[in-house]
Amino acid sequence: MYASKKDQPHMSRLPVMASKRVLANSEDVDDAQPVQKKSRKELMASKSQAAATTVGTRRPPVAATRAPVSRPVRGVGAATVAVAPSRGVTRAPLASTAAKGGKMAAGAAPIPKAGSAGGPPRRHPWDMKGKVSDMKGKIQDYHVKMKSAHLEKENLMGSLAEFQSRVAEMERDLSESQERLLVLNGVQEELERVSSEKKTLQTELRNLQDKYRVMETLRDSQETENQTLKMKLSAQESTLARVQDSLRRSEDEGRSLEGTVARLEDQLHAGEMERRQLHNTLQELKASRFSPESRDSPEPRGHFPKLSHPRSQGNIRVFCRVRPLANGGLSDHIQLSANDAKAVTLAKREESHTGKSADTQKNYSFSFDRVFGPGATQQQIFEEISLLVQSALDGYNVCCFAYGQTGSGKTYTMEGDAQDQQARGMIPRAVQQIFAATCKLAAQGWEFSFTASFVEIYNECLRDLLYTGKASKRPEHEIRKSTSNKMTITNLTYKKVASEDQVLCLVDLANQNRSTAQTTQNDRSSRSHSVFQLDIEGVNAGRDVKCNSTLCLVDLAGSERMLKSQSQGERFKEMTAINGSLSNLGIVITALANKESHVPYRNSKLTYLLQGCLGGNSKTLMFVNIAPESDSFAETLNSLRFASKVNDCMIGTASANRK
Ligand code: ADP
Ligand code: MG
């Protein structure tokens, strides 16, 4: 009957059920048997239910649900209308059949049925015609019923389709509604969130309002304060204007003062330069004076050749220092003049061999730049050489020797006693002066750097006195001339020093080194030269001035001669080396004084090393230390003669006849 299962009417849907009920009710009514079984009252109730259902069909529950959407439900109404006539149609044929039956009964004599008004009449068994007509009537009834059933089915199908479309529509509406609901839920959540935010904001607002009130109070007080400050400000402004005025004036003054300072600095620098020149001139004047003529000029003995110029070379000065006697007494053969601090006389009493003539006294008079008696302190001596130390800072090479026999006081003069402040020698005092002076010169823009070295020359061999390594690994040394004509020693310790203490530590180290050597060789220090060198480098960056110099302090080997019979082996070698180097020192100084073209510096290690400090731009000071003991007379005379040559003094002897 149906094209597919899909086309079959659905019986499960609510509205269809309502219709089905309608149909069932109609069938119940039409069916004679159930009708007979039911009471009239029940039938009425059933009818009224059908009517109610019909009404309900008109307004089904779904339609009621849709009521808020307010859309008319036409389909349902139409279906219901279509059902109603079908009942009429179904009934009409029944009636007509009954009528027909009636007609037939008239002709075919049907058997009356007791107690039954609506059923077909009973026929006689022979009344086949009647039975056939009854059957026809029934068939007709069935046909009519079929038709009406068809009609009703179509109506129902229409209603079903309508219902289905309505259901689809409702489903759409439902999903729409669900979407809306979702949206609404979202909106509600948003609303809740917004309301909670609102609450928070309200709380904040209240807080802010509270703060605002506090701020208002503060503002009021600030305004009052502001007024006060404004008043103060205007007072300050006027003060500031006054201060600015005075600042401008001060700046003007400052500028003019800066100009003055620059001028004064220039003057100071020029003054410093002039002072250096004058200092130098003064020293040269001090050194270049006429020597007293000698009444007796014997050939000098010892290390010194004859000078061709009878005048001093200008930059060499000689100081004589007489050591005090060990017992504190006075020596009788060394005479010092109370009026002349430059003279010293050696007096020798010669007894008459014949006894007929009176004893004669032979005097050897010498004159030096200064003669210091046995009472002279280290400080007094240093005062004289401090000018030279200043020259070293001014950029002159300065060399200071101590010459004399062993025990005459050379080491005492040069180093002194480090423990006794009064007995400190020339080296610590010179170093102290240098570091004190550099501090002052720093104010004028000078920056100094110092390098110290300490070397010993023994038997024409060099030995580093600042060496701290293993004795077995002591390096060999050679004197080299650098490109800047500066003499340097290979493998020697050159220590950068920045303070007096550092230098004194190095002097101590040198003494330790010397005493170590001394234990292996008896009295070695008296037979070696020790050379302390301090290289000074000064820079005045502001004025683009530089100065380089070397301060050289030399404790020479003992100048005493030994009898040839005493000098054998190692001693002979030592004596030859000492004589050689001291003689060469004399030769070099003479050559410099004579302005000879060739100065034999290279003939000994000492002169070669001191080359830069002896000639040219250098200032030399020689101490001649003499021992006061009478048994040292010969050596003293020898030393004084040597020193006189250096000092460019004519050697003379004064003789005073004792009558
Ligand atoms: P040198 O080095 O010439 O061999 P020293 O300097 O060692 O001689 O002096 C020998 C001794 O004489 C040392 O004990 C030293 O202290 C002492 N002496 C030297 N000169 C003086 C002096 N001017 N005043 C006091 N003592 C001195
Ligand atoms: Mg000595």
Over residues 254-283, mean pLDDT: 80
In the chain, helix, strand, coil percent, each to 5?
55, 15, 25
Q: What is the dihedral of CA 22, 24, 28, 30, to 10 degrees?
A: 70
CA 427 / ligand 2 centre spacing (Å): 14
Q: What is the DSSP letter of 325?
A: P
Ligand 1 atom closest to the Cα of residue 414 is 6
Higher pLDDT, 388 or 244: 244
Higher pLDDT, 298 or 502: 502
CA 407 / ligand 1 centre spacing (Å): 6
| pLDDT tens by residue, 353-394 | 666 666 678 889 998 889 999 999 999 999 988 888 988 888
pLDDT at 58: 43
Q: Are strands 545-555 and 397-404 parallel, antiparallel or unpaired?
A: parallel
CA 658 / ligand 2 centre spacing (Å): 38
CA 146 / ligand 2 centre spacing (Å): 163
CA 390 / ligand 1 centre spacing (Å): 26
How buried is 452 (Cβ within 10 angstroms: 0-12 exposed, 13-18 middle, 19+ buried)? buried
Tell me the backbone φ, ψ of residue 90, rounded to 5 degrees. Answer: -65, -40
Among residues 564, 553, 497, 499, the alpha carbon closest in space to that of 530 is found at: 553
- Ligand number nearest to the C-alpha of 511: 2
Q: Using a CB cutoff of 8 Å and minimum separation of 24, what contacts does 250-255 make?
A: none
Residues with CB under 5 A from ligand 2 (ion): 410-411
Looking at residue 278, its amino acid is L
Ligand 1 atom closest to the Cα of residue 378 is 23
CA 412 / ligand 1 centre spacing (Å): 5
Higher pLDDT, 617 or 62: 617
Q: Return the SS3 of 624.
A: strand
Ligand 1 atom closest to the Cα of residue 405 is 3
Question: What is the helix (H) or strand (E) element at residue 123, kind and residue range?
Answer: none
CA 402 / ligand 1 centre spacing (Å): 12
How buried is 358 (Cβ within 10 angstroms: 0-12 exposed, 13-18 middle, 19+ buried)? exposed
From CA 212, how far away is CA 604, in angstroms rounded? 101
Among residues 136, 161, 144, the alpha carbon closest in space to that of 75 is found at: 161
pLDDT at 639: 92
CA 184 / ligand 2 centre spacing (Å): 118
Among residues 238, 240, 260, the alpha carbon closest in space to that of 248 is found at: 240
CA 213 / ligand 1 centre spacing (Å): 98
Query: Residue whose CA is closest, atom 22 of ligand 1?
Result: 323
Over residues 292-311, mean pLDDT: 35
pLDDT at 184: 86
Q: Which residues line ligand 1 (CB under 6 A)?
A: 323-324, 404, 406-412, 526, 625
Would you say residue 624 has pLDDT above 90? Answer: yes
pLDDT at 497: 96
Over residues 588-617, mean pLDDT: 85
| pLDDT tens by residue, 63-121 | 444 444 444 444 444 334 334 344 433 444 444 444 444 444 444 455 555 444 556 67
Higher pLDDT, 184 or 476: 476
pLDDT at 30: 44
Over residues 531-545, mean pLDDT: 90
Across the chain, what does the average pLDDT equal?
Answer: 76
Q: What is the dihedral of CA 113, 119, 121, 126, to 10 degrees?
A: -110
From CA 461, how far away is CA 415, in angstroms rounded? 23
Higher pLDDT, 424 or 351: 424
Would you say residue 569 has pLDDT above 80? Answer: no
From CA 434, how far away is CA 532, in angstroms rounded? 15
Would you say residue 298 has pLDDT above 60? Answer: no
pLDDT at 503: 93
Would you say residue 133 has pLDDT above 50? Answer: yes
pLDDT at 590: 80
Ligand 1 atom closest to the Cα of residue 376 is 23
pLDDT at 338: 85
pLDDT at 243: 93
Q: Return the SS3 of 322.
A: strand
- Ligand number nearest to the C-alpha of 635: 1
Would you say residue 33 has pLDDT above 80? Answer: no
Over residues 521-525, mean pLDDT: 65
Ligand 1 pocket test: which of 378, 412, 560 has the largest number of ligand atoms within 8 Å of its C-beta?
412
Beta strands in 258-312 (DSSP E): none
pLDDT at 395: 85
Q: Which residues contact 596 (CB under 8 A, 6 or more apart)?
A: none
CB 135 within 8 A of CB 155: no
CB 625 within 8 A of CB 323: yes
pLDDT at 595: 78
Query: Residue whose CA is closest, atom 19 of ligand 1?
Result: 409
Query: Residue whose CA is closest, atom 12 of ligand 1?
Result: 409
Query: Residue whose CA is closest, atom 5 of ligand 1?
Result: 409
CB 366 within 8 A of CB 643: yes
Would you say residue 5 has pLDDT above 80? Answer: no
Among residues 532, 524, 536, the alpha carbon closest in space to that of 610 is found at: 532
Q: Which residues contact 371 (CB under 8 A, 6 or more apart)?
A: 319, 320, 321, 322, 336, 341, 342, 343, 344
Residue-by-residue DSSP string for 450-514: EEEEEEEEETTEEEETT--S-GGGPPP--EEE-TTS-EEETT---EEE-SHHHHHHHHHHHHHHH
Higher pLDDT, 633 or 516: 633
Q: What is the pTM of this model?
A: 0.58
- Ligand number nearest to the C-alpha of 413: 1
CB 560 within 8 A of CB 406: yes
Ligand 1 atom closest to the Cα of residue 625 is 3
- Ligand number nearest to the C-alpha of 321: 1
From CA 108, how far away is CA 131, in angstroms rounded? 9
| pLDDT tens by residue, 187-234 | 888 889 899 999 999 999 999 999 999 999 999 999 999 999 999 999
Rg (C-alpha) for the chain, rounded Å, is 74
Would you say residue 299 has pLDDT above 60? Answer: no
CB 325 within 8 A of CB 628: yes
- Ligand number nearest to the C-alpha of 409: 1
